[in-house]
Amino acid sequence: MTNPPDVIRSAYAELVVTDLAAARWFYVDVLGLIVTAEEPGALYLRACEEYLHHSLVLRKGDAPALAALAYRVRGPREVDAAERYYAEHDVPVRRVPAGTTRGIGEAVRIQDPLGFPVEFFYHAEHTERFTQHYHLHRANALARLDHFNVVVPDVRTARNYYTALGFGVSETIEDEDHLYAAWLYRKQTVHDIALTGGDGPRLHHIAFATQERSQILHTCDVLGALRREHHIERGPGRHGVSNAFYLYLRDPDGHRIEIYTSDYYTGDPDNPTIRWDVRDNRRRSFWGHQVVPSWYAEASTVLDLDGRPVPITAPAKRESVASIGADGFGVVPGENGAEGVKLGHQV
Ligand code: 4SX
Ligand code: FE2
Where do the structural domains in the chain lie, given as residue ranges? 7-129+141-297
Q: How far is the CA of 181 from the centre of ligand 1 (A)?
A: 9
Whether 149 is in the pocket of ligand 1, judged by its Cβ within 6 Å, is yes
Pick from 172, 239, 287 the residue to mutate for probing ligand 1's pocket: most ligand atoms within 8 Å of its CB. 239
CATH for 7-129+141-297 (3.40.50.2000, 3.50.50.100, 2.60.120.10, 3.10.180.10): 3.10.180.10
Q: Is the pTM value of this prediction over 0.75?
A: yes
- Rounded CA separation 69/112 (Å): 10
Asked if 271 contacts 173 with a C-beta cutoff of 8 angstroms, the reply is: no
- Rounded CA separation 235/216 (Å): 10
CB atoms within 10 A of CB 208: 24
Whether 284 is in the pocket of ligand 1, judged by its Cβ within 6 Å, is yes
CB-neighbour burial class of residue 148 (10 A; exposed 0-12, middle 13-18, buried 19+): buried
Whether 242 is in the pocket of ligand 1, judged by its Cβ within 6 Å, is yes
- Rounded CA separation 11/8 (Å): 9
Which residue's CA is the nearest one to ligand 1's atom 3? Answer: 284
Please list, in sequence order, all residues whose beta carbon lies within 8 angstroms of the beta carbon of residue 336, skipping any fewer than 6 positions away: none
Residues with CB under 5 A from ligand 2 (ion): 149, 207, 258
Element (H, E) at 67: strand 65-73
Which residue's CA is the nearest one to ligand 1's atom 1? Answer: 284
Please give the DSSP secondary-structure letter assigned to residue 136: G
CB atoms within 10 A of CB 345: 10
Pick from 242, 255, 282, 291 the residue to mutate for probing ligand 1's pocket: most ligand atoms within 8 Å of its CB. 242
Smallest Cα–Cα separation from 195: which of 150, 147, 165? Answer: 150
Q: What is the pLDDT along the chain (347 residues), one digit of tens a residue?
A: 799 999 999 999 999 999 999 999 999 999 999 999 999 999 999 999 999 999 999 999 999 999 999 999 999 999 999 999 999 999 999 999 999 999 999 999 999 999 999 999 999 999 999 999 999 999 999 999 999 999 999 999 999 999 999 999 999 999 999 999 999 999 999 999 999 999 999 999 999 999 999 999 999 999 999 999 999 999 999 999 999 999 999 999 999 999 999 999 999 999 999 999 999 999 999 999 999 999 999 999 999 999 999 999 999 999 988 875 444 444 444 443 334 334 333 32
Q: What are phi and psi of 266, to 5 degrees?
A: -125, 15
Q: What are phi and psi of 32, to 5 degrees?
A: 75, 20
For the four alpha carbons of 143, 27, 196 and 238, in that order, the dihedral sign comes to positive
- Rounded CA separation 184/169 (Å): 4
Strands ordered across the beta sheet of 117-121 = 34-39, 42-46, 56-60, 7-17, 65-73, 117-121, 107-111, 93-96
